Chain A
Amino acid sequence: MRILLDKFSKSFGDVRVIEDMTLEIKDGEMLALLGPSGCGKSTTLFAISGIHKVTGGRILFGDRDMTGVPSQERNVGVVFQSYALYPHMTVADNIAFPLRIRKLPEAEVKRQMEEMANLVHIEALLNRRPAELSGGQQQRVALARALVRRPNVLLLDEPLANLDAKLRLEMRSEIRRIQLETGITAILVTHDQVEAMSMCDRIAIMNAGQIIQIATPQEMYRNPRTAFVAGFLGSPPIAFIDAVANNGMLTVEDADIRLPVPPNAETPPDGTPVIVGIRPENLGRDGDAPVRGRVSFVETQGRENLYDLTLANGRVLRSIQRVSDDVSLNDEVEWRVRSDQLFLFSQNGERL
């Protein structure tokens, strides 16, 4: 079902968390609300679920205005960060709870519960209690309970935050598989850009209660609207250096660097101070603009090495390259930047 937030605002007392936010989630889409802690992403989620009452604006499910409708009638499935399973009930009772509340006939409850248990692969655990399950299994139960009554929308509040690294990888693809199989509209709240990029159709990146950019993960990575977006996406993160426009080139005077203006930006007038963003994968042996510096840090990641390159003016660039033995700590090197992949930002962080 299509979800629309129409000029939605939320304040707690005098604190305005979100103001005039408009966001549309398409039917069957999985959208990530990505942002640092305190940016209002969970608030948005709880407003959609009905746990928080909105201060202003409307929330529409399809064509129906849900703004004043209580949580119980919104038919929203929520997976909480802590899973919030009912500890005194078995897995089967947990999943069946929403159906029993609806007073479905017991045979029907059992059928739907088992169907959902099969979908999330927990058929063998139905008689256990939540305390006897691993984190990943609890997560699956929480998903099953949220999905069993075929909700209008599935809300996931940092669902992977409590899992260890390996399980996180597994559940990432599992949640996506289940979402695609059920075709449900889903909203994922996360502060982890990898989760957002790998699981979702589109990302809405938020900061300080505002949506900065909505785009597909690919588009957002290639074409960030602001320096904040560029800095949030990508691991290892992008590096920024200050430069000045000069005769169609970008120069960093005290580091002896001259970079051409990338084709994705308009040439700024001479003398304009700008911020140049260089992703680590675009600094290395291949490229067109030379950059000299000293290797100040080497981190081995197995397949690749991550280097910190300290420039003459003390600023640090990052470079990720295939493992090679010819560079070691404190070497003076001259690497190259692929200038067509640079991002140019104004001083206040807007893309140029």
Chain B
Amino acid sequence: MIGHLRTWPIVLALSILSAPLVLMYAYLFIDTVTNSPPRSFIPNEFTLEHWSFLWETRPGRPSIWRVTLNSLLFATSTSALVIVVSSMAGYVLSRLNVPGRAYFLAGVMVLHAFPAITLIVAIFLVLQVVGLYNTLIGVILVKAAIDMPLGIWLMKGFYDTVPWEIEMAGIQDGASRFTVWRKLVLPQVKPGIFALGLFAFLLGWGEFILPQVLAPSGNAQVLSVYLAGLIADDNNFDMNLFKSVGLFYMMPVLILFFFFQNRLMNIYGGGSKG
């Protein structure tokens, strides 16, 4: 009881402070399924009209499903690329005697320090020249490249915790270096790979500025760009539609977080636990 008495001021303070947030989220949801009379917060009718974007395509806009598929493709592809490259590069940098390893690691870190936005003009020009402007592949490559430094460093950290002896034992047992990596070392860093994959997926799902600049229209549009298009459209301004699409956009992230939050935490711990 005394414990409760002591904590209630904190609970009260937190409740007051977080009330605006809770209200915002509550109204985000409520407004998508109701209509309110002008100048009132109290809804007076239930409606699904704001969700109609799911089954009818607005004139001048791509289908929501097409855009969602693009977002999914974009997020999974960047995530897969980051995983494959980081898990290999991280191993090499952690274990093998590569010439100039320290410089490479430092260089990767410097790349990571560059905000993507500072590079965007150059990247835009490069993609135009190469012919990947306004394509999903182009923006996937760019996004994966930008996420990769973090991934490589992260995976290197995970590999560093795997004991050397396991590899030596594998080599003595007759396995090639590649088999040792794939069958013995990779399973030890599974938590890291999983966390990195999820992390990269969420980064890709939420990415706005790169697709907006590098693949703004047509078949390559992703959800964030679609959403931005809604709010930028002054002719058919519809706040509730905007909220509905926003909620729709957020849902996969919430679901992923709900199921995998513990695994995501591995990114801070990690290592080989038996």
- The interface of chain A, by Cβ under 8 A from chain B, is 49-51, 71-73, 75-78, 80-88, 97-98, 101-102, 129-132, 145-146, 149
24 A-B contacts (beta carbon < 8 Å): A50-B171, A51-B168, A51-B172, A72-B171, A72-B176, A73-B174, A76-B172, A78-B169, A78-B172, A80-B165, A82-B163, A82-B165, A86-B187, A87-B273, A87-B274, A97-B173, A101-B173, A101-B174, A101-B175, A130-B274, A132-B274, A145-B169, A145-B173, A149-B174
Q: Give the size range of B's interface with the partner.
A: 20 to 34
- Name the contact of B174 in the complex, choosing from A84, A85, A98, A129 (C-beta under 8 A): A98
Distance in angstroms between the alpha carbons of A227 and B269 in the assembled complex? 51
Output the least CB separation between A41 and chain B (Å). 17
**B34, CB-defined interface residue at 8 Å:** no
Render B185-211 as a binary contact track against A, CB cut-off 8 A, 1 for contact. 001101000000000000000000000
A86 contacts B176, C-beta separation under 8 Å: no
Distance in angstroms between the alpha carbons of A47 and B5 in the assembled complex? 69
A129 contacts B274, C-beta separation under 8 Å: yes
Q: With A86-B184, A87-B188, A88-B188 known to touch, is A71 a contact of B171 (CB < 8 Å)?
A: yes
Give the contacts of B131-167 with A (CB-CB under 8 A).
Answer: 163, 165-166
Distance in angstroms between the alpha carbons of A149 and B190 in the assembled complex? 29
**B18, CB-defined interface residue at 8 Å:** no
Output the least CB separation between A261 and chain B (Å). 51
Distance in angstroms between the alpha carbons of A84 and B162 in the assembled complex? 10
Distance in angstroms between the alpha carbons of A102 and B175 in the assembled complex? 8
> Which residues does chain B contribute within 8 Å of A71, judged by CB atoms?
171-172
> Which residues does chain B contribute within 8 Å of A78, judged by CB atoms?
168-169, 172
> Which residues does chain B contribute within 8 Å of A97, judged by CB atoms?
170, 173, 175
Output the least CB separation between A315 and chain B (Å). 44
**B272, CB-defined interface residue at 8 Å:** yes
Output the least CB separation between A200 and chain B (Å). 21
> Which residues does chain B contribute within 8 Å of A101, judged by CB atoms?
173-175, 179
Distance in angstroms between the alpha carbons of A49 and B171 in the assembled complex? 10
Q: With A88-B188, A101-B174 known to touch, is A131 a contact of B273 (CB < 8 Å)?
A: yes
Chain A minimum-CB-distance residue to B177: A72
> Which residues does chain B contribute within 8 Å of A72, judged by CB atoms?
171-172, 174-176
A86-B166, A87-B188, A101-B174 are known; give 11 further A-B pairs, CB within 8 A.
Answer: A49-B168, A71-B171, A72-B174, A78-B169, A80-B168, A80-B169, A83-B165, A84-B165, A85-B169, A97-B170, A145-B173
> Which residues does chain A contribute within 8 Å of B166, judged by CB atoms?
84, 86-87
A84 contacts B173, C-beta separation under 8 Å: no
Output the least CB separation between A49 and chain B (Å). 6
Output the least CB separation between A25 and chain B (Å). 18
> Which residues does chain A contribute within 8 Å of B176, judged by CB atoms?
72
B169 contacts A84, C-beta separation under 8 Å: yes
Distance in angstroms between the alpha carbons of A72 and B176 in the assembled complex? 7
Output the least CB separation between A128 and chain B (Å). 10
> Which residues does chain A contribute within 8 Å of B171, judged by CB atoms?
50-51, 71-72
Distance in angstroms between the alpha carbons of A146 and B190 in the assembled complex? 26
Distance in angstroms between the alpha carbons of A72 and B179 in the assembled complex? 12
Distance in angstroms between the alpha carbons of A77 and B175 in the assembled complex? 13
Distance in angstroms between the alpha carbons of A85 and B272 in the assembled complex? 12
